[in-house]
Structure 1
Amino acid sequence: MRRWVKVSVAAAVVLGVGGYVAEPYAQDWLLARDACDGTLPPDALEQLTPEDAHLRDETSHLHEGLGSYSCRLTAEEAEDGTGDDGRLVVGMEAYTRRDDQDREFMSIFPEEGFSPQASLPEGLPGFIDKYHDINFLLPCPDLGKDAEGRQRKLLVRMSLGREANHGAPGAAYRMAVALANGASDRLGCGAEPLRAPAGDAVPPDPERDAETVPLSEAKDTACGWMAGAGLPQDQGLRVAAAVNDAAPTGRCDLTDRDGKSALSLVAWYGDWSNRLTSRDGVPRSLTATARCDGEAAGYALGTSDDIPGVGEAVQRRLLKEFAEDQVRRRGCSGLRFF
């Protein structure tokens, strides 16, 4: 019998005989029902909970004046005694203030901003970061504009425990979408509700699961411009496309024949990206900037390995083609190169 079916049956029986709720399955049912103010989809939660683990605790914190909301659901500690405070099943943090959002982006993209990332299915306004968190950045029409005339937004970050079944078909995306929609409601954002992607998509690991195609076949990807960029065709180069036109960041990577990243082109959207294209007010080399939806956009090229025939002149051309492709896709203006 499935976990949450057993939970609901046990809860109904236990609660019906005097309100006693210490029975583990009844406790599971109550925690699952109440966690994150009741927004967790039961089927996805069942799939993401560690096998044979009972739930332990749920917490949520809403600070309307500070524009923040968080919730967390944990399971009992592991058999080896680790996890004194419980094992994370799912956690979420959401912010509508720019300072909080900038802090989160700085943790995801420190230094020059070439942190591992993966794209979400097209249409979802977000990305997967180096911590494996699913991030959404949503416009908040009900919150108006900030003091600088920028549309206020909602940043939502969802984390899954290390023991959660990340490979559960479709479950992580259903959970993330439900939490984002719930956070929008709780914080008065008014964002258009997200819809989970159809099918059994599983979030990739940004550092290990990048899907690549041969350079000659890249034209059908979101980094299709690379196929006609004049790159050497005899070195086994492959393209990894992590671009989603609705997301606040994306990248096109070139990998060598062994799958190691050799060259990366990254885009960041929002005024938080200013620090990634300059240092102390001086533009970094091999970067570009533009204006998109009234805010800054930044583009940069980085290399981790020499590619024969791809010197600085070719790299500058690649940055130009990448940035121009992004500007066309997003309807941006004022593109400048450094």
Structure 2
Amino acid sequence: MAKVLPEERLRAGKEVMDVKNGRMRCAVNIDDHHYTLAVEAQSRPEYVQRELDLTFNIAVDPQYVFPQGIPGFRGNYGPTILQECPALGRDSEGRKNLLITTVRGRNTDTSPALRIAVSMANAASTKLGCGAKPLPLPKEALPKELPAVPLKDAVGTACGWLADAPLPQNRSGGPWKVAIPTDDHAPITSCQLMDGKSRTPVAKFSGWYGGWTDKPFETLMRFNVPDVTESDTKGPLMSEEFGRAMARCDGESANFRAGSYPNSGQQGFSSHELQPLLAAFAKDQAKRHGCTDLKLPSEEIHPRSQP
């Protein structure tokens, strides 16, 4: 705690151990009513959904996806770890039960904060009967920028599909590179196509797994594509800046997103260039995860929302 909060007077906050309702919490407080760092783990489905709604009320790429072996991401407030609970089975609607662990407070971008999240997740998995495998404690701080490798070096990884994808020519004249922040076990997988010359992302691809992912994607469509109907928000779709594909994976929803923003002032792909890349990404992800009922967007391109 002292490494995360070097200038604070540490005061223990109220601890919660409510196994019956699937909740654990501990905190370090500034005073009697305000915490400076709080870590919480929850497995009750409605509590898990509430946390996911707070973090992803709309399907935007997380600020940072954690390294391989740690299924989580940097959320709006701090580290978030999302694990399946094999010992708890599925709920009445056939959805997997999950364990969500969050850290909130100051200095939550540091490696100690992520170690705290992992330690809590491991303890909560045992105490709340989740049954998830222990996660490895990260040894080093997270890099400030994702390392990128040439396309040929991505072969055999979760982003190896880019080596054979119909990529447009790089307009900067530099090579294409790819950042590979996740493995196949992450709740949100990710591949970023980078301009090897400027080291900036040109297109981002992410796979979202679980029934909780439908709602933020529907919100994304509703607020960023002006001419959609309610039915449109529930299916695959291609807009001028991003596209959505869908599948069923292990009995639950999966959503695939590709995004590129050529109107942002940086290099980007047109929707016609991005669409076949979304298809290639979704097909590769579906194969890796054993998904069925893959649905790709039609050739119709929906206009983007005007500022």
Structure with greater Cα Rg: 1
Range class of TM-score, shorter chain: 0.7 to 0.9
State the partner residue of 1:151.
96
Q: Does 1:134 align with 2:94?
A: no
Of 109, 115, 124, 2:70 maps to 124
- The root-mean-square deviation of aligned C-alpha atoms, in Å, is 3.0
Question: Which amino acid counterpart does residue 166 of structure 1 have in structure 2?
Answer: T
8 A Cα contact 2:244 2:257, kept in partner = yes
Instruction: Report the equivalent of 1:210.
Output: 146
Partner of 1:264: 204
What does 1:1-338 align with in structure 2 at a 5 Å threshold? 45-50=1-6, 53-74=8-29, 88=36, 90-111=37-58, 113-131=59-77, 133-159=78-104, 161-162=106-107, 166=110, 171-197=112-138, 200-204=139-143, 209-215=145-151, 217-219=153-155, 222-231=158-167, 232-233=169-170, 235=172, 236=174, 237-256=176-195, 257-278=197-218, 279=222, 280-282=230-232, 283=235, 284-285=237-238, 286-305=243-262, 310-338=269-297
The offset of 1:330, in angstroms, is: 1.7
Change over 3 Å in CA distance of 1:146–1:259 after alignment to 2: same
Query: Could you tell me whether the CA contact under 8 Å between 1:137 and 1:248 is conserved in 2?
Result: yes
Runs of 5+ unmatched residues, structure 2: 223-229, 298-307
| SS of residue matched to 1:156 | strand
Query: Counterpart of 2:280 in 1: which secondary structure?
Result: helix
User: CA contact under 8 A between 1:119 and 1:244: conserved in structure 2?
Assistant: no
CA offsets per residue over residues 132-175 of structure 1, 9 Å max, x none?
Answer: x222222223333211123322111123522x7825xxx34432
User: For residues 202 and 255 of structure 2, what CA distance do their matches in structure 1 show?
Assistant: 21
* Secondary structure of the structure 2 residue equivalent to 1:47: coil
Following the alignment from structure 1 to structure 2, what is the Cα–Cα distance between the partners of residues 310 and 86? 46
Structure with the higher fraction of residues in helix conformation: 1
Counterpart-to-counterpart distance in 2, 1:330 and 1:99: 26
Distance 2:207 2:13 in 1: 37
Encode CA deviations 1:275-311: one digit per residue, 9 max, x unaligned.
2444533223221111112110000122222687943
Deviation at 1:179, TM superposition (A): 0.6
Identity, % of aligned positions: 34
Cα offsets for 1:67-108 (capped at 9, x unmatched): 33222123x58xxxxxx96662x4212222333222322222
Cα deviation per residue 1:186-243 (whole Å; 9 max; x = unaligned)? 323233332324xx32134xxx523333556544653222233232245334433233
CA drift of 1:63 comes to 3.6
1:116–1:129: 8 Å Cα contact kept in structure 2?
A: yes
CA contact (8 A) 1:137 1:153 kept: yes
Q: Compared with structure 1, are the counterparts of its residues 241 and 69 closer, same or farther at alpha carbon in structure 2 (3 Å cutoff)?
A: same
Which residue identity lines up with residue 174 of structure 1 in the other structure? R
Deviation at 1:318, TM superposition (A): 0.5
Could you tell me whether the CA contact under 8 Å between 2:41 and 2:120 is conserved in 1? no
**Partner Cα distance (2:69, 2:11) in 1:** 35
**For 1:159 and 1:220, how far apart are their aligned partners in 2?**
36
* Cα distance, 1:249 vs structure 2: 0.6
Distance 2:76 2:150 in 1: 25
TM-score (norm 1): 0.70
Deviation at 1:125, TM superposition (A): 2.3
For residues 286 and 246 of structure 2, the distance between their equivalents in structure 1, rounded to whole angstroms, comes to: 10
Asked whether the 8 Å contact 1:126–1:246 carries over to 2, the reply is no
Equivalent-residue separation in structure 2 for 1:64 and 1:316 (angstroms): 47
Asked if structure 2 preserves the Cα contact closer than 8 Å seen for 1:172 and 1:203, the reply is: no
Q: Alpha carbons of 1:191 and 1:309: their partners in 2 closer, same or farther (altered >3 Å)?
A: closer
Distance in 2, Cα, partners of 1:182 & 1:222: 29
Structure 1 runs of 4+ with >6 Å offset: none
Cα distance, 1:309–1:303 mapped onto 2, change above 3 Å: closer
Corresponding pairs, count: 274
